[in-house]
Amino acid sequence: MKLIIINGPNLNLLGKREPKIYGTASFEDYFKILQKNFPQHELSYYQSNIEGALIDKLHEVGFTYDGIIFNAAAYTHTSVGLGDAVKAIETPVIEVHISNVHAREEFRHQSFIAPNAKGVIAGFGLQSYDLAIASFS
Ligand code: DQA
């Protein structure tokens, strides 16, 4: 299947950013592991810190790809625009978080993505991405 991982703001700093919460691996390195773990899928990866760029990417892939694994990061909790984009497209979206957002500050309990996502996976570290990809097998 043709699957894309889309990561939102500050996730370009994975490995350096708050390693106690988000771990010590960069996403570029972890993406190589994902490609090895799931050779049956055609995986691609996109990251942006810009809300509009994430919306553009959802529009670009959202009618042709088989699945989107989406960690909207902080925009999860704030972005009506990203929530509307997920609603507007046809490709199923799995919302992913590295940390268990429900065990953290209350503002992280709200998601504008979840109501229109196929499912939500949170709290398994970078393995959250494995679990999301496995759901397409
Ligand atoms: C995150 C959780 C968000 O609350 C936070 O803003 C992030 C990362 C996660 O993957 O755990 O940047 O989406």
Nearest CA to ligand 1 atom 7: 73
Cβ proximity of 122 and 128 under 8 Å: yes
pLDDT of residue 137: 78
Whether this prediction's pTM lies above 0.75 is answered by: yes
Place of tokens 């889309």: 6
**Largest Cα span, the chain:** 38
Whether residue 97 lies in the annotated active site: yes
- The catalytic residue among 30, 65, 75, 97 is 97
For the chain, the structural domain boundaries read 2-135
Q: How far is the CA of 73 from the centre of ligand 1 (A)?
A: 4
Tens-digit pLDDT profile for residues 13-70:
999 989 999 889 899 999 999 999 999 999 999 999 999 999 999 999 999 999 999 9
Q: How far is the CA of 98 from the centre of ligand 1 (A)?
A: 7
Q: Is any ligand 1 atom within 6 A of the Cβ of residue 100?
A: no
Tens-digit pLDDT profile for residues 62-111:
999 999 999 999 999 999 999 999 999 999 999 999 999 999 999 999 99
CA pseudo-torsion sign 88, 94, 100, 102: positive
Q: Is any ligand 1 atom within 6 A of the Cβ of residue 99?
A: yes
| CATH topology assigned to domain 2-135 | Rossmann fold (3.40.50)
Cβ proximity of 67 and 3 under 8 Å: yes
Q: How far is the CA of 51 from the centre of ligand 1 (A)?
A: 15
pLDDT of residue 40: 97
